[in-house]
């Protein structure tokens, strides 16, 4: 490895350390919800970083942040990046690694093109998608959903957080409310930590993502009747929290019927009135089912709905199904996976094909343009946790891999296959 390349890698690791200071928590993680003050601080820093390398920065109508390098006049863009927002008290690698790796890959390519005078086939856009996590504003992957036409911008901007603050108000408060729909994409690439333990277990440096798991995500509202916890006879209670608890247990029991094939979870409960002496009258909860086998997912979904009817009778409550956010198993374009495989071979990096269990912005992007999704290992599979960790040598190897993939995309290597 050349001395210059080594110094570039060191700079990347240092920049990642700086980025990790925004919204930093005492236990080594980050807390920077979409549209928060910490999100605004990191976006301003990222703007300065991009502009220092000659990229023009703009925000679109829902706060997606783009660093644009236009060398081929009028040509569309290879869009590469991830997201900077986090879950509450989360790890510092999820999303943020992919955004910074995209920026440094773009910096390296821009320097190459300047030194050689080469003009790529496509322009280059580094992206920080807005509200991928969905922790403050629902649904998740909001920015890329608007960009890809799956969600209307007006609907996204009107979404409120639990305190009644809209997306529009949040973006305005941090100075990131832009206009327009962003650059036109020809191809897309994203790199991310695996958020699982399989790659570390198998000693693999690069994961070539060839498809996503299907997911059914629901918001349920359990309706009961408010009453006194001390004086109301048990038989007379319509306890919404009891019904919600039975739903939580039902989801886990359904997962246990399909070990390793189905994942279920309930990640959020909102209880009303949430008083120690009041039987709850309403509980809002988010429940999801995920599987790579759509037949299993359909069977599990039916089991869940059958159990809902049983729970309504057993707890004397009513369960309302509110919003849903579902997606099927969808492969990434095979030609993109092949391109990434060639890059890994040329770089001498160990690799294998993997599937993504989680949703990512690239799962939206692959529906409109050929998209390459890459993983690097997560130590012990820890994620959405302050102790999330990926080794420096792995994030650097991923940066090298991403740089080569984006170079190939910008040079039009996939054009012949898609013509």
Q: Could you read off the pLDDT of 321-357 as tens digits, one per residue?
A: 987 778 789 899 999 999 999 999 999 999 999 988 8
Alpha carbons 325 and 11: distance in angstroms, whole number: 39
89 and 165 fall within a common domain = yes
Alpha carbon of residue 348 to chain centroid: 28
61 and 124 fall within a common domain = yes
Is 0.95 topped by the overall pTM? no
Alpha carbons 390 and 226: distance in angstroms, whole number: 48
Cβ of 330: how many Cβ atoms within 10 Å? Answer: 12
pLDDT tier at 267 (50, 70, 90 boundaries)? confident
Question: Considering 270, 299, 327, which residue would you say is the last residue of a domain?
Answer: 327
Are 49 and 68 within 8 A, CB to CB? Answer: no
Q: What is the DSSP string of 317-374?
A: -EEEEEEEEEE---BPPHHHHHHHHHHHHHHT--EEEEEESS--HHHHHTTTS-EEEE
Local structure of residue 85 (DSSP, 8 states): -
183 and 270 fall within a common domain = no
166 and 186 fall within a common domain = yes
129 and 223 fall within a common domain = no
351 and 269 fall within a common domain = no
Average pLDDT over residues 260-275: 94
Question: Considering 263, 296, 327, which residue would you say is the last residue of a domain?
Answer: 327
Strand partners, 262: 291
- Residue 322 is predicted with a pLDDT of 81
- Residue 417 is predicted with a pLDDT of 64
- Residue 418 is predicted with a pLDDT of 60
Alpha carbon of residue 299 to chain centroid: 26
294 and 349 fall within a common domain = no
389 and 292 fall within a common domain = no
257 and 349 fall within a common domain = no
Instruction: Determine phi and psi for 398, rounding to 5 degrees.
Output: -65, -40
- The per-residue pLDDT for range 142-177, each reduced to its tens digit, is 999 999 999 999 999 999 999 999 999 999 999 999
Q: Please state, for a pLDDT cut of 70, what percent of the chain lies above it.
A: 98
71 and 84 fall within a common domain = yes
Alpha carbons 342 and 372: distance in angstroms, whole number: 12
Using the structure block, give the residue that is written with the tokens 């890959």: 105
Give how many domains the chain has, as a whole number: 2
Alpha carbons 183 and 180: distance in angstroms, whole number: 9
Structural domain that includes position 294: 214-327
Q: Is 277 exposed, middle or buried (0-12, 13-18, 19+ CB in 10 A)?
A: exposed
> Looking at the predicted structure, is the pLDDT value of residue 8 above 80?
yes
For residue 166, what is the domain's CATH number? 3.40.630.10
Instruction: Determine phi and psi for 190, rounding to 5 degrees.
Output: -145, 140
84 and 200 fall within a common domain = yes
- The per-residue pLDDT for range 354-398, each reduced to its tens digit, is 988 878 999 999 999 999 999 999 999 898 899 999 999 999 999
Question: Considering 327, 344, 361, which residue would you say is the last residue of a domain?
Answer: 327
- Residue 293 is predicted with a pLDDT of 94
Residue 95 backbone zone (phi > 0: left; psi -120 to 50: alpha; other: beta): left
- Residue 358 is predicted with a pLDDT of 79
For residue 317, what is the domain's CATH number? 3.30.70.360
Using the structure block, give the residue that is written with the tokens 């639990």: 162
Strands (E), 203-248: 206-212, 214-223, 227-228
Are 198 and 88 within 8 A, CB to CB? Answer: no
For the chain, the farthest-separated pair of C-alpha atoms sits apart, in whole angstroms, at 82
Alpha carbons 319 and 311: distance in angstroms, whole number: 9
16 and 164 fall within a common domain = yes
> Looking at the predicted structure, is the pLDDT value of residue 22 above 70?
yes
Taking alpha carbons only, the member of 38, 75, 109 closest to residue 185 is: 75
């Amino acid at each position: 490895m050349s001395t210059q390349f080594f110094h570039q890698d060191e700079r990347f690791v240092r920049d990642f350390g700086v980025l990790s200071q925004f919204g930093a928590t005492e236990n080594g993680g980050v807390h920077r919800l979409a549209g928060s003050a910490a999100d605004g601080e990191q976006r301003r820093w990222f703007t300065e970083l991009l502009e220092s390398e000659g990229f023009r920065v703009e925000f679109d109508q829902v706060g997606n942040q783009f660093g644009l390098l236009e060398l081929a006049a009028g040509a569309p863009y290879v869009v590469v990046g991830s997201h900077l927002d986090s879950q509450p008290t989360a790890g510092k690698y999820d999303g943020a690694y992919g955004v910074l790796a995209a920026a440094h890959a773009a910096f390296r390519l821009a320097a190459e093109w300047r030194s050689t005078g080469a003009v790529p086939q496509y322009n280059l856009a580094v992206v920080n998608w807005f509200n991928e996590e969905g922790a403050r504003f629902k649904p998740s992957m909001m920015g890329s959903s608007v960009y890809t036409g799956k969600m209307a911008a007006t609907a996204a901007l009107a979404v409120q957080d639990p305190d009644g603050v809209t997306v529009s108000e949040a973006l305005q408060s941090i100075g990131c409310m832009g206009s327009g729909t962003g650059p036109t994409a020809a191809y897309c690439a994203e790199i991310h930590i695996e958020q699982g333990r399989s790659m570390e277990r198998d000693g693999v440096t690069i994961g070539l993502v060839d498809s996503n798991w299907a997911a059914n995500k629901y918001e349920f509202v359990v309706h009961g009747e408010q009453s006194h916890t001390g004086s109301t006879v048990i038989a007379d209670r319509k306890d919404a929290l009891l019904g919600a608890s039975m739903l939580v247990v039902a989801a886990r029991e359904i997962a246990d019927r399909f070990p390793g094939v189905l994942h279920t979870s309930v990640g959020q409960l909102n209880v009303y009135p949430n008083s120690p002496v009041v039987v709850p009258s309403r509980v809002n909860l988010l429940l999801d089912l995920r599987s790579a086998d759509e037949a299993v997912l359909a069977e599990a979904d039916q089991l869940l709905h059958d159990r809902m009817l049983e729970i309504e009778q057993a707890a004397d409550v009513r369960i309302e199904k509110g919003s849903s956010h579902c997606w099927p198993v969808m492969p990434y374009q095979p030609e993109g996976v092949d391109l990434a495989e060639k890059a890994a071979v040329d770089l001498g990096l160990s690799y294998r094909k993997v599937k993504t269990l989680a949703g990512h912005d690239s799962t939206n992007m692959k529906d409109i343009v050929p998209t390459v999704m890459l993983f690097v290992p997560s130590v012990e599979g820890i994620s959405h946790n302050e102790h999330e960790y990926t080794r420096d040598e792995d994030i650097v190897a991923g940066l090298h891999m991403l740089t080569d993939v984006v170079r190939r995309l910008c040079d039009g290597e996939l054009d012949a296959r898609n013509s």
